Structure 1
Amino acid sequence: MSLLFDSFEEWRTYCQEEDKPLFEPVLRYEREQKGKSEEEIWNGLGKAYQVMKDAVQTGLTKEMNSYSGMIQGGARKVANHPVPVLSIEFQRLVARALAAKEVNSCMGKVVAAPTAGASGILPGTLVTLQEIHKLKDQTILEGLLVGAGVALILEKRASIAGAVGGCQAETGSAAAMASAAIVYALGGTVDQAFNAVAITIQCMLGLVCDPVAGLVEIPCVVRNASAAAIANSSAQIALADVSPVIPVDECVDAMGEIGHSMEAKYKETAEGGLAATPTGQRIARKVLIQDIEIMDDEVSEE
C-alpha cells in the first residue's frame, strides 16, 4: 500500500464497513509503513504535539525577530492587545498560530504539518481547542492521526507543496487537516469531518504562494493565523450538518486542477504577487545585500 487511501470515499467506506474510528486506518498505515508498535507511534505523536506546544510557548514568550527584519514579535503583540475582536479565545487562537509559525521563521524547532510553511496552524488550533474543551491528550493525538490521513489524500490527489500548487496546497492543506481534527475531537461523525475538509478547501482555493524575498515569512506567518480561523469556522459549519454541496473528493480534485493551472510565478518563485511589489522587491534587494556581506565576511575570515 503506497498510500492510505486514494480518496475520502474509500476512507469513509472502510470506517463504515469495519466499524472503525476515523483514526484507526491511519494508525494501521503507520504501523505497516514504519514497522513500529502502536506504543511507539503514540509516543512519537506525543513528542510531536509537545514540540507544537513548545513552539506556541516560545513564540509568545521569547523575542521573535527574523534575520530579514520582517518578523518582529507579532504574536506577542496580538496576545497582549487589550481589545479582543471577538473573544479572548479567538485572540489566543490567532496569537498561537502566529507564534508557532514565527518560531519557524526565526529558525526554531517546529513540526512540519504538513510543511514548515504551515507549521502554525495545527498548533494554534489544537492547543486552543484542548484548552477550551478540556480535552485529553489522547484525543488530540487521535486528531493528529486524522489530520495526517487528510494530508496523505491531499498529497495523492492534489499537492501539499507551495512550489507545486501554491499556498492553497500548504496553508490550505494544513487548515483542512486541522478542521477534520477539530470535528473528530469534538465527537463529530466521519461525514462531518470530511465535510469540514471540503468547506475548508472551498474557502482556500486559488491561494498563491508569493513569499517576499523568497523567505517563508511574509505573507506566510499571517496566513497561518487566517487559516487557523478558517479551520475553526469550517468545523463549526460542518458540525451543524451544513452540506458543502460539492463532495470532498471533488473539492480536492479542483484544488489539484487549480494548482496545475497556476502560473509558475505564483508558486514559491518570489516572482509574482506580494513578492513582486515595489516594497517586496526592495526587501529582496536588502536581504540579498545582507547575504553578500555575510559571505564576504566569511571569506575574509578564512
Structure 2
Amino acid sequence: MAVLFESFSEWKEFCEKKKVSLHQPVLDYEVREKERTKEEIKLALKQAFDVMKDAVKTGLNEDMTSRSGMIENGGKKVFNSPINVLSEEFKVLISRALAAKEVNSCMGRVVAAPTAGASGILPGVLVTLQDLHQLDDDTLHNALLVSAGIALIMEKKSGIAGAVGGCQAETGTAAAMAAGAITYCLGGNIDMVFNAVAITAQCMLGLVCDPVAGLVEVPCVVRNASAAAIANSSAQIALANVSGVIPVDECVDAMGEVGQSMEDRYKETALGGIAATPTAKMISKKVLISDIDIIDSSEE
C-alpha cells in the first residue's frame, strides 16, 4: 500500500498548497487504494460510524460480562452513577468509551480504530461530541477521514500495535486520532489539529501494554476511558491555541523511539506491569484452568 504522507508537515504543506481541507487527501487516498468511488468510501464511513454508535448503545443496554469475569458492565455502572466528578457530560463520555470497549471484550462487533484494543475511544469521543454540538453525520464522517490520516502517519512513524510499541501505540494513537477529530470538527485550523495530536502523544508517551491473563480486558478497558478524557483535554488546549511546543512529527518520532526501547515484557506479552502483579497471576491461572476445563468438556 502506498504511503499517504511521510509526515504531518508534508500533509499540512499539501493541503495549504492545494487549498483543501485535511480530510480531502485522505478521501482521495482511500479512493485510489481501495479502487472505489467517493460515494462508496462515504458509505463505508457511514457504516463504520454506525457500528461505533451501535457499540456504545449495546454496551450501555446489554449485559457486558466477559467470560473471564473481569469485565462486568462497567459502562452501565458509570452511566448510572449518581455522582458526577466533573459534569454529566464528562460522565457520559467515560461511560460510552467503557461501554464500546466492553463490547469488544465480550466478543461483540466493533470498529478497530486503530485496533480492537482501543476500540472504545473514538466511539466514546465522537458520539459524545456529536450529541453536545449537534454535528451532522457528514462532519463526523470527514472527521473519521482526518483521524485515519493521523493513524496512517503514526503507524509509519511509531506503530499502532501493543506488541510493537506498548499501549501508547494503541490507545495513544486512538487518543491522538480522537483529539485531532474533535479539533477538526470544532473548527480548528491545521496547526491546531496537529497540535492536539502532539499534546496527546506527550500525554500518552511511555504507556506499556500489560494485559492481565493475556486478555484485552484489564487494564485495557479503563485505559480507553482515560484516553478519551485525554483526547478531550488535548483538543481543548489546542483549540485555545496553546502550543505543545514540540512539533507533532517530533512527538510521534519520540513515541516510536520509546516503543522501540521498551522491554518485551511491556509489549502485550502479559509478563510485566499490571499483568505481573500477584492478583493478576492468580487470575491468569484461574482463567487458564477454566479454558482447559471448557475444552475438555466439549470433547467428551
**TM-score by structure 1 length?**
0.99
Shift of 1:37: 0.5
Where does residue 45 of structure 2 map in the other structure?
A: 45
In the alignment, the residues of structure 2 paired with residue 152 and residue 274 of structure 1 have an alpha-carbon distance, to the nearest angstrom, of: 29
Q: Which amino acid is the alignment partner of residue 148 of structure 2?
A: A
Matches within 5 A, 1:199-218: 199-218=199-218
2:182 corresponds to 1:162: no
Count of aligned pairs between the two proteins:
300
In the alignment, the residues of structure 2 paired with residue 163 and residue 134 of structure 1 have an alpha-carbon distance, to the nearest angstrom, of: 38
In the alignment, the residues of structure 1 paired with residue 131 and residue 28 of structure 2 have an alpha-carbon distance, to the nearest angstrom, of: 29
Where does residue 59 of structure 1 map in the other structure?
A: 59
In the alignment, the residues of structure 2 paired with residue 27 and residue 187 of structure 1 have an alpha-carbon distance, to the nearest angstrom, of: 19
2:39 corresponds to 1:68: no
Q: Which amino acid is the alignment partner of residue 219 of structure 1?
A: P
Where does residue 292 of structure 1 map in the other structure?
A: 292
In the alignment, the residues of structure 1 paired with residue 217 and residue 5 of structure 2 have an alpha-carbon distance, to the nearest angstrom, of: 33
2:53 corresponds to 1:18: no
Q: Which amino acid is the alignment partner of residue 247 of structure 1?
A: P
- Range with greater deviation from structure 2 (81-90 or 162-171): 81-90
Where does residue 114 of structure 1 map in the other structure?
A: 114
Matches within 5 A, 1:57-96: 57-96=57-96
Where does residue 189 of structure 1 map in the other structure?
A: 189
Q: Which amino acid is the alignment partner of residue 63 of structure 1?
A: D
In the alignment, the residues of structure 1 paired with residue 112 and residue 29 of structure 2 have an alpha-carbon distance, to the nearest angstrom, of: 19
Where does residue 223 of structure 2 map in the other structure?
A: 223
In the alignment, the residues of structure 2 paired with residue 15 and residue 242 of structure 1 have an alpha-carbon distance, to the nearest angstrom, of: 22
In the alignment, the residues of structure 1 paired with residue 203 and residue 50 of structure 2 have an alpha-carbon distance, to the nearest angstrom, of: 29
Identical-residue share of aligned pairs (%): 68
Q: Which amino acid is the alignment partner of residue 283 of structure 1?
A: I
2:9 corresponds to 1:6: no
Where does residue 101 of structure 2 map in the other structure?
A: 101
Where does residue 151 of structure 1 map in the other structure?
A: 151
In the alignment, the residues of structure 1 paired with residue 299 and residue 86 of structure 2 have an alpha-carbon distance, to the nearest angstrom, of: 53
Q: Which amino acid is the alignment partner of residue 62 of structure 2?
A: K
* 1:168 match: secondary structure: helix
Shift of 1:295: 1.2
Shift of 1:299: 1.9
In the alignment, the residues of structure 2 paired with residue 146 and residue 86 of structure 1 have an alpha-carbon distance, to the nearest angstrom, of: 29
In the alignment, the residues of structure 1 paired with residue 57 and residue 296 of structure 2 have an alpha-carbon distance, to the nearest angstrom, of: 36
Q: Which amino acid is the alignment partner of residue 120 of structure 2?
A: G
**TM-score by structure 2 length?**
0.99
Shift of 1:298: 1.8
- Range with greater deviation from structure 2 (1-10 or 273-282): 1-10
In the alignment, the residues of structure 2 paired with residue 3 and residue 82 of structure 1 have an alpha-carbon distance, to the nearest angstrom, of: 48
Q: Which amino acid is the alignment partner of residue 21 of structure 1?
A: S
Q: Which amino acid is the alignment partner of residue 141 of structure 1?
A: H
Shift of 1:83: 1.4
In the alignment, the residues of structure 1 paired with residue 119 and residue 3 of structure 2 have an alpha-carbon distance, to the nearest angstrom, of: 23
Q: Kindly provide the CA deviation profile for residues 155-202 of structure 1, in whole angstroms up to 9, marking residues without a partner as x.
A: 011100000000000000000000000000011100000000000000
RMSD of aligned alpha carbons: 0.6
In the alignment, the residues of structure 2 paired with residue 65 and residue 198 of structure 1 have an alpha-carbon distance, to the nearest angstrom, of: 36
Q: Kindly provide the CA deviation profile for residues 30-84 of structure 1, in whole angstroms up to 9, marking residues without a partner as x.
A: 0000010010000000000000000000000111000000000010000000111
Shift of 1:234: 0.1
2:257 corresponds to 1:253: no
Q: Which amino acid is the alignment partner of residue 226 of structure 1?
A: S
Give the unaligned 5+ runs of structure 1. none
2:33 corresponds to 1:33: yes
